[in-house]
Amino acid sequence: MRAIDADACEPYFYEHLDDNAMAGALNAISEMPTIEPQRKKGTWIEQDDSWDGVYYECSACGEPWTTIDGTPWDNGMHFCPNCGAEMEDQDRNEDGNGAVAVLGEGR
Ligand SMILES: [Zn+2]
Protein backbone atom coordinates (compact mmCIF):
# COMPACT_ATOMS: atom_id res chain seq x y z
CA MET A 1 0.00 0.00 0.00
CA ARG A 2 1.16 3.54 -0.68
CA ALA A 3 -0.44 6.89 0.17
CA ILE A 4 -0.94 9.31 -2.75
CA ASP A 5 -1.86 12.98 -3.03
CA ALA A 6 -5.51 12.86 -4.15
CA ASP A 7 -5.46 16.58 -5.02
CA ALA A 8 -2.83 15.83 -7.64
CA CYS A 9 -5.32 13.52 -9.44
CA GLU A 10 -7.75 16.30 -10.41
CA PRO A 11 -5.63 18.00 -13.10
CA TYR A 12 -4.72 14.59 -14.48
CA PHE A 13 -8.40 13.64 -14.88
CA TYR A 14 -9.20 16.93 -16.64
CA GLU A 15 -6.22 16.42 -18.93
CA HIS A 16 -7.38 12.90 -19.86
CA LEU A 17 -11.17 13.34 -20.10
CA ASP A 18 -11.32 11.67 -23.50
CA ASP A 19 -9.41 8.56 -22.44
CA ASN A 20 -11.19 5.39 -21.45
CA ALA A 21 -12.40 6.25 -17.94
CA MET A 22 -11.13 3.16 -16.12
CA ALA A 23 -7.78 3.14 -17.88
CA GLY A 24 -7.41 6.86 -17.16
CA ALA A 25 -8.14 6.35 -13.47
CA LEU A 26 -5.64 3.52 -13.22
CA ASN A 27 -3.00 5.60 -14.98
CA ALA A 28 -3.67 8.57 -12.71
CA ILE A 29 -3.27 6.47 -9.59
CA SER A 30 -0.07 4.89 -10.84
CA GLU A 31 1.43 8.26 -11.79
CA MET A 32 0.59 10.15 -8.58
CA PRO A 33 3.45 10.84 -6.23
CA THR A 34 3.69 8.79 -3.08
CA ILE A 35 3.38 10.91 0.05
CA GLU A 36 4.28 10.39 3.68
CA PRO A 37 1.17 11.10 5.76
CA GLN A 38 1.79 13.71 8.43
CA ARG A 39 0.11 13.28 11.79
CA LYS A 40 -0.24 16.19 14.17
CA LYS A 41 1.92 15.80 17.31
CA GLY A 42 1.11 16.94 20.81
CA THR A 43 1.68 16.23 24.44
CA TRP A 44 -0.43 16.08 27.58
CA ILE A 45 0.02 19.18 29.72
CA GLU A 46 -0.89 18.65 33.34
CA GLN A 47 -3.00 21.47 34.73
CA ASP A 48 -4.04 21.92 38.33
CA ASP A 49 -7.48 23.36 38.94
CA SER A 50 -7.99 24.35 42.56
CA TRP A 51 -11.69 23.31 42.40
CA ASP A 52 -11.56 20.10 40.37
CA GLY A 53 -7.98 18.94 40.88
CA VAL A 54 -5.65 17.80 38.14
CA TYR A 55 -6.71 17.66 34.52
CA TYR A 56 -4.76 17.30 31.28
CA GLU A 57 -4.79 19.56 28.28
CA CYS A 58 -3.86 18.59 24.72
CA SER A 59 -1.05 20.87 23.56
CA ALA A 60 -2.30 20.69 19.97
CA CYS A 61 -5.95 21.73 20.42
CA GLY A 62 -6.20 22.80 24.06
CA GLU A 63 -9.05 20.41 24.85
CA PRO A 64 -9.08 19.56 28.58
CA TRP A 65 -9.43 15.95 29.72
CA THR A 66 -9.82 14.41 33.13
CA THR A 67 -9.13 10.85 34.15
CA ILE A 68 -10.69 8.94 37.00
CA ASP A 69 -7.31 7.61 38.04
CA GLY A 70 -3.78 8.20 36.76
CA THR A 71 -2.42 10.17 33.82
CA PRO A 72 -3.58 9.96 30.21
CA TRP A 73 -0.52 7.74 29.66
CA ASP A 74 -1.63 5.41 32.43
CA ASN A 75 -4.99 5.16 30.63
CA GLY A 76 -3.57 4.42 27.18
CA MET A 77 -4.43 7.84 25.70
CA HIS A 78 -1.68 7.97 23.07
CA PHE A 79 -3.83 10.14 20.79
CA CYS A 80 -6.02 13.14 21.58
CA PRO A 81 -9.67 12.02 21.32
CA ASN A 82 -10.62 15.52 20.11
CA CYS A 83 -8.08 16.40 17.39
CA GLY A 84 -6.31 13.07 16.81
CA ALA A 85 -2.83 14.40 17.62
CA GLU A 86 -0.32 11.69 18.42
CA MET A 87 0.97 12.35 21.90
CA GLU A 88 4.72 12.33 22.25
CA ASP A 89 5.75 9.46 24.48
CA GLN A 90 6.48 10.91 27.90
CA ASP A 91 9.16 8.26 28.42
CA ARG A 92 11.00 9.39 25.30
CA ASN A 93 11.23 13.12 26.01
CA GLU A 94 14.54 14.64 24.94
CA ASP A 95 15.31 15.69 28.49
CA GLY A 96 14.84 12.09 29.57
CA ASN A 97 12.90 12.90 32.70
CA GLY A 98 9.66 11.43 31.41
CA ALA A 99 7.60 14.01 33.27
CA VAL A 100 4.40 15.59 32.03
CA ALA A 101 4.74 19.39 31.86
CA VAL A 102 3.10 21.13 34.79
CA LEU A 103 1.69 24.58 34.11
CA GLY A 104 -0.92 24.83 36.87
CA GLU A 105 -0.66 26.88 40.00
CA GLY A 106 0.54 25.63 43.33
CA ARG A 107 3.08 23.13 42.09
ZN1 LIG B 1 -6.14 17.62 20.77
String of DSSP letters for 31-68: HSPB------EE-EEEEEETTTEEEEEETTT--EE--S
CA distance linking residue 64 with residue 45, whole number of Å: 9
**Judgement on whether residues 45 and 20 belong to the same structural domain of the protein:** no
Residue 25 shares a structural domain with residue 69: no
Which residue range forms the structural domain that includes residue 53?
A: 41-102
Q: Which residue from 93, 91, 83, 87 is spatially nearest to 72, judged by alpha carbons?
A: 87
Give the containing element (helix H, strand E) for 30. Answer: helix 21-31
Rounded to two decimals, the pTM is 0.57
Distance 78 CA to ligand 1 centre (A): 11
Cα–Cα distance measured from residue 17 to residue 22, given in angstroms and rounded to the nearest whole number: 11
* pLDDT score at 90: 65
Q: Are residues 6 and 26 in the same domain?
A: yes
Mean residue pLDDT of the chain comes to 82
Q: Is 22 inside any structural domain?
A: yes
Whether residue 18 is contained in a domain is answered as yes
Residue 65 within a domain: yes
pLDDT tens string 16-60: 888 788 788 888 888 888 988 888 999 999 999 888 789 999 999
**Do 58 and 81 belong to one domain?**
yes
97 and 45, same domain (yes or no): yes
Cα 104 to ligand 1 centroid, rounded to whole Å: 18
